[in-house]
DNA sequence: CAGTATCCAAGACGATACTG
DNA sequence: CAGTATCGTCTTGGATACTG
């Protein structure tokens, strides 16, 4: 696993999904297309700037699709590309692992068993 | 997938492995225990400071184990904890995805098929 | 050999104001 | 509604020098 190609591949993935909000955005889009405002409401702590920026980067990487509806008021919908959909299993595995990790951390913090 | 627990779990994982060098370090340790110097040689671009720092963080998260051999010259060995070993499948999936992504990007860049 | 300590640069991120 | 533009901050990472 320490070979160069493997390491490079792993780093490539991290570059694509490494932004602070990208994984969360993808989680939302996994459930279906979302408008800009819907995404904002779903992530109360993100700023417009960051949302726009991260969406653009995901778009450039071919992960998501941006569709502008020419109408007033403006409407823009974001959705996963078929390619972006392949992130699904990655997301699931990351979530699985994170969940177990969180449980571990919680257990350490609680006084139920020995502390150290 | 857009539910809060799922999103939190995914973010938790990213926090643990999100450092610039952590995934690469993990790749090396997946092959077995390594000394500090071995890791450095395996990652020519990392500085001592960053290597030390990222190792400490991985240690704090319970992913890796640090063993100091009391001898001169000093010898310190890093290895995955059993828990850290559970990152293995994550690493593989990230590598798979990254490899495919890289192929995609390369194809776009090459003139073999239509350019836009 | 395996680190620390210090200082510095770059980039990521955020707050705010403005626009088609 | 869905952005852009600007500026400031904060975090991350890097260069260099020193140490048990």
pLDDT in tens, A4-24: 999 999 999 999 999 999 999
Could you read off the pLDDT of A92-101 as tens digits, one per residue?
999 999 999 9
- Of the candidates B21, B30, B20, the one whose C-alpha atom is nearest the C-alpha of residue B87 is B30
The DSSP 8-state label assigned to residue B72 in this structure reads S
Which of B10, B98, B100 has its CB closest to that of A91? B10
Residue A42: its pLDDT value, please?
Answer: 96
Contact (CB<8Å) B13/A98 = yes
Contact (CB<8Å) A18/B18 = yes
Q: Which has more pLDDT, A115 or A96? A: A96
Residue B115: its pLDDT value, please?
Answer: 54
Could you read off the pLDDT of A49-95 as tens digits, one per residue?
999 999 999 999 999 999 999 999 999 999 999 999 999 999 999 99
In angstroms, the Cα distances linking B36 to A92, B18, B96, B111 are 33, 21, 28, 44
Instruction: Find, in chain A, the residue whose alpha carbon is nearest to that of B60.
Output: A105
Tell if the pTM clears 0.75, that is, is over it.
yes
A45 touches chain B (CB under 8 A): no
Q: Which has more pLDDT, B114 or B17? A: B17
Backbone angles phi, psi at B76, to 5 degrees: -130, 130
Tokens of B44: 């020519």
Which of A2, A11, A83 has its CB closest to that of B28? A2
Q: Residue B31: which residues within 8 A CB-CB, separation 6 or more?
A: A1, A2
Q: Residue B12: which residues within 8 A CB-CB, separation 6 or more?
A: A98, A99, A101, A102
Summary mean pLDDT of chain B: 94
Residue A114: its pLDDT value, please?
Answer: 57
Residue A113: its pLDDT value, please?
Answer: 60
B116 pLDDT band, cuts 50/70/90, is very low
List, in order of start, the domains of chain A with CATH numbers: 4-109 (1.10.10.10)
**Percent of chain B topping pLDDT 90:** 87
- Judged against a pLDDT cut of 50, whether residue B51 lies above it is answered with yes
Contact (CB<8Å) A93/B95 = no
| Nearest-nucleotide field for A19 (CA, C1') | C12
Tokens of B72: 């001169």
Give dist(CA B11, CA B109) in Å, integer.
Answer: 32
């Amino acid at each position: 696993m320490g070979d160069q190609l493997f390491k490079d591949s792993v780093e490539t993935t991290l570059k694509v999904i490494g932004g602070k909000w990208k994984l969360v955005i993808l989680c939302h889009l996994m459930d279906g297309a979302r408008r800009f405002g819907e995404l904002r409401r779903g992530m109360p702590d993100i700023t417009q700037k960051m949302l726009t920026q991260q969406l653009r980067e995901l778009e450039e990487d071919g992960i998501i699709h941006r569709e502008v509806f020419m109408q007033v008021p403006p409407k823009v919908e974001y959705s996963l590309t078929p390619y972006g959909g392949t992130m699904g299993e990655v997301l699931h595995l990351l979530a699985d692992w994170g969940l177990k990790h969180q449980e571990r951390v919680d257990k350490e913090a609680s006084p139920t068993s020995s502390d150290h």
